[in-house]
Structure 1
């Protein structure tokens, strides 16, 4: 992962640790079906880390991808859904 995106993602994760994962846009957003995403921007693009909430405000990041379009590719969604099923 490019350094600028990684630095932004680590900052967002630290904020989520302090106040909880519901940071709101532009940092986090719901995707539906209990899935949420963190969005970390950098000069190389935007990283999206899809996660689920588990007990006691803990989160599990299921998948991270760097992309330029708004939609998450189908192959990545299949991975995300499979990992979410394993956790639940």
Structure 2
């Protein structure tokens, strides 16, 4: 029997139809993709989830925290109408989340929450 998902993962789409997180994931090694994918799936199956896997960053904005072999990745997401919308992905180079990356995730979150996102696109 298949496991029931608590929330369904979808990729944020820009107005031009690009999926930045999907493109970012494709740029990573197969092991990195696998590890990040497993963590995203764990969130999808068990939402809501807290630390150490998920950390709330702002109102309606969370990050999936994945420790890779020699790096740390973060995938920012929002929850909207039963969807876990993947907004932005990064490989962290320091302890602090880069301001520009956090602001980009917030902008995309705002687009989604204002209705500027259509999961059918």
TM-score (norm 2): 0.64
- Structure 2: gaps (5+ residues): 1-27, 114-121
- Aligned positions, number: 86
Instruction: Say which structure is richer in helix.
Output: 1
Indicate whether 1:66 and 2:91 are aligned.
yes
Larger strand proportion of the pair? 1
RMSD over aligned Cα atoms: 1.5
TM-score by length of 1: 0.84
Out of 104, 111, 114, the position equivalent to 1:86 is 111
1:37 aligns with 63
- Runs of 4+ with deviation above 2 angstroms: 2-5
Partner of 1:26: 52
* TM-aligned CA deviation for residue 63 of structure 1: 0.3
Greater Rg, structure 1 or structure 2?
Answer: 2
Contact kept in structure 1, 2:44 and 2:84, CA below 8 Å: no
Partner SS, residue 25 of structure 1: coil
Structure 1 unmatched runs, 5+: none
CA distance in 2, matches of 1:25, 1:2: 25
Partner of 2:44 in structure 1? Answer: 17
Q: Distance in 2 between matches of 1:32 and 1:75?
A: 14
Distance apart, 1:54 and its partner CA: 0.9
